[in-house]
Chain A
Amino acid sequence: MAHQTRSARKAGLFDLRWIIAVLFGIYGVVLIVLGVGFRTDEDLAKAGGININLWSGVGMAALAAVFGLWAAWRPMVVPERVEEMPPADDAAGAGER
C-alpha cells in the first residue's frame, strides 16, 4: 500500500476518488437545480409522481461528498520508484506504443 513508502508524494488530481467526486458533484448540483427550479408537471407524471431529478441529484451529491471526504482523509501517495514494472496491460493501450 502507498502509505508505507518513504519517498512518496500525493497523487493529487490523479486520485480516482477526486475524479469521481468532481464528476458526481457536478451532476448532483445540476440535477438538484433541475429538480427544484425547473420541474414540470409533465416530468412528474412521467416518473409517476417522484421528483426523480431532485432525489437522484441528492444521491449523487452524497456520493461525491463521500468520495471527496475519503480522498481528503486518506490522500493517496505515489511511490517514487517501483522495483519491477508490471507488464503493460495488453488489453488496453496497444495502439499507443
Chain B
Amino acid sequence: MDNIVDKVTNEDYKYGFTTDIETEVIPKGLNEDIIRLISKKKNEPEWLLEFRLEAFRHWQTLTVPTWPHLSIPEIDFQDIYYYAAPKAEVEGSENKEIDPELLKTFDKLGIPLHEQKALAGMAVDAVMDSVSVKTTQQEALAELGIIFCSIGEAVQNYPELVRKYLGSVVSHTDNFYAALNSAVFSDGTFVYIPKGVRCPMELSTYFRINAKGSGQFERTLIVVDDDSYVSYLEGCSAPMRDENQLHAAIVELVAMEHSEIKYSTVQNWYPGDKDGKGGIYNFVTKRALCKGNGSKVSWTQVETGSAITWKYPSCVLLGDNSVGEFYSVAVTNNYQQADTGTKMIHIGKNTHSHIVSKGISAGHSQNSYRGLVKVVENASNARNYSQCDSLLLGDKCGAHTFPYMEVRNETAIVEHEATTSKISEDQVFYCNQRGIKTEDAIALIVGGYAKEVISKLPMEFAVEAKNLLSISLEGSVG
C-alpha cells in the first residue's frame, strides 16, 4: 500500500472563495455588553436576553472540554467577532431586494435563491455569517400551516413556540460550547410542522461563513407535531483562510407522537490546507427528543470538512416505541481531526436504536468514533445495534473507537460490532486492470464502503455526497 499512499497532495477546496460585501460587525470579544448588543440588534424580547445572559454567566464558570481524542490549539474567545451581518438588502429598495453579490455567492454554491429558479421540491434558508439572507418557498409551506423561517424571524412572529422549545432539548448547562452558543447564537432555522402534515418538500439550510475573524453560532430548532413528517437537510462551506474559525452550533429536534424527522447533514466546512493550516473548528451539539410514543428520528451525516470536528448527534428516546437512528460517514484527510459519534438514551419502553458509523482516515488525520448507548432502569425491551467500521488509507493516519454502554435494564439487547480495514493494493490493481485509474478506483471502493449511509440521504444529495467523498480523498493515494 505504501507506494499508493506516498503522494499526498491536496485537491483545491471548491468553495474557498470570499464574497466582497459590506458587513456590519460589532466589536470583537465577549462580555455582557456584547450580548446585550446582539440581542438589541435582533430586537429581541426581554426573556431571550435573560436566556442569553444566564447562559453566559454559566459559561464563565466552565472550561473547555479535554476528554475528546483531539488536539485543539488554545482558542482566544475574546478575539472573535460574535456578530457579523452582511448587508443583505439593497439600500433603499422597496421590496427588500437582495444584494446581487449575495445571490451570486449562493448561486456559485449551487443554492439558487430566486423563487423562480428555486430547486424543485426543496425550500432553502440561506444563512451567511450571523444572519439569514433569504428563505424560499415560505408561502407554499404556510398554506399547509408549516412554519419555515430563520430563528430570528420566529422569535418575532412565533415567540410562544420558540420560548416553549428553545433550550428544552439542549440546555445551556449541557456543555461548554452549548453554553457559549446559548449566549451568543445568531441565525439558524426554525421549523414547525403542525399535526398530521407530511411536509411535501425537503427543507434545508445552507450555512456560509464569509467574514474574517468571525465565528458562526447558529441555532436550529425543529418541532414536528403528532403524526407529521419532515425531511431536513443542512449544508455548509467557508472560505479558505490561514486562520482557524469557530463554528459552534446547537440543533434541537422535538418529535411528538408518531411523528418522524429525517435530519441529513453534508458537512463541507473548509478543512485547512494539506499542512493543517487554517480550517473550521466545528464544535456542535445536536440532539433530538423523541418525546411522543412511536416517534422516530434519523440522523444521517456525511462529514468531509472542518479542521476539527467534535459532534455527537443524539436521540433521547423518551416516548414508548420510539426509534433513533444514526448513520454517519466521517472522512478525514491530511491533518484533519474528528471525534464524532452519537448518544442513544433509551428511557421509554420498547425503544429501538440503530447506529452505523463509517470512518475513513487518510493522510496524517485522526478519526474517532465515540458513542454512548444508555438504557435506564425502566426502559424495558430496549434494543440497540451498533456497527462501527473504520477504513484506513495509508499508515500515518489513526482510527479509534470509543463505545460506551450503560445498561440498567436486563431485558435490553445491545449489540456492537466493529471492523477495521484497509484498501488493498490488490483491489486497486484489479480496477486498474479493467481500465479504471487509481483515483477513480479509490472513489469507487470508498463509495462502496459508505453506500449503506449514503443511500439514506435524499436522492439529489446522495450524488453530491459521493462526489464530495472522492474529492476529499483526492490526492490521498497516488
Are A and B physically bound partners? Answer: no
